[in-house]
Chain A
Amino acid sequence: DIVMTQSPFSLAVSEGEMVTINCKPSQSLLSSGNQKNYLAWYQQKPGQSPKLLIYYASTRQSGVPDRFIGSGSGTDFTLTISDVQAEDLADYYCLQHYSYPLTFGSGTKLEIK
């Protein structure tokens, strides 16, 4: 099984600041066939279902603001949120969809000061 190590557990920032969330899978998520990384990022606001933000490590889902940036490859991935807004208060999760069993990171709680 691919273990997804996500950090930090939580962070608190002021509006306008930038945050970085990390996700390190225990094995590479890069497909040799299509050179895509099978890593997705989700946002879950309080009381809501998760929402897909980023897939293939860096492709933003339709409608997602461009302040959400995914980067990385292989075994090291990052979600960067620039110019954090109050509405970004949420839990964030990474997901590896490279192989079964599909596995999520443990989550990062973003709080706004």
Chain B
Amino acid sequence: EVQLVESGGGLVQPGRSLKLSCAASGFTFSNHYMAWVRQAPKKGLEWVATISTSGSRTYYPDSVKGRFTISRDNAKSSLYLQMNSLKSEDTATYYCARPDNNRFDYWGQGVMVTVSS
């Protein structure tokens, strides 16, 4: 059974940093692209980042490019999202997701990030 478990969320002040983690199991992690998707409170879904199997290619929307960095450790079956220069508009539930041809077929339960002073 595919499982994706996020951790690392919490309350952080504007301008500070936070790193999210996602522990994957139930599939061969190194064979799959991985991604992060977020959802602001009472709002819709927004794709945040995607990383290739080896980690050599990464993709971001303009809203987070230059501030967020997606990475992975295939030996640990883990995915990460380093978030720097956080803004109030980054407040959201962050989901770890597994893409298949860029559609997300498995999702974690999500982790909440609140950016507030």
Interfacial residues, chain A to chain B (CB-CB below 8 A): 38, 40, 42, 44, 49-52, 55, 61, 93, 95, 97, 100-107
Q: Digitize B27-67: 1 where CB-to-A-CB distance is under 8 Å, 0 elsewhere.
A: 00000000001000000111100100000000111100000
With both beta carbons as reference points, the residue of chain A lying nearest to B44 in the complex is identified as A107
A-B contact pairs, 15 of them (CB 8 A): A49-B110, A50-B45, A50-B95, A50-B107, A51-B107, A52-B103, A55-B105, A95-B45, A100-B50, A100-B59, A101-B62, A102-B102, A104-B46, A106-B44, A107-B44
Contact A38 to B102, CB < 8 A, known contacts A93-B45, A102-B47, A107-B44:
yes
Beyond known contacts A40-B104, A50-B45, A105-B44: 20 more, CB 8 A cutoff = A49-B95, A49-B107, A50-B107, A51-B107, A52-B103, A52-B104, A52-B105, A55-B101, A61-B105, A93-B44, A93-B45, A95-B45, A95-B103, A100-B59, A100-B61, A101-B62, A103-B47, A104-B46, A104-B47, A106-B44
Residue in A49, A51, A93 whose beta carbon sits within 8 Å of that of B109 in the complex: A49
CA distance A50 to B47 in the complex (A): 13
Interface SS majority for chain B: strand
Interface size class of B (residues with CB under 8 A): 20 to 34
Interfacial residues, chain B to chain A (CB-CB below 8 A): 37, 44-47, 50, 59-62, 95, 99, 101-105, 107-110
Q: Which of B44, B50, B61 has the most CB of A within 10 A?
A: B44
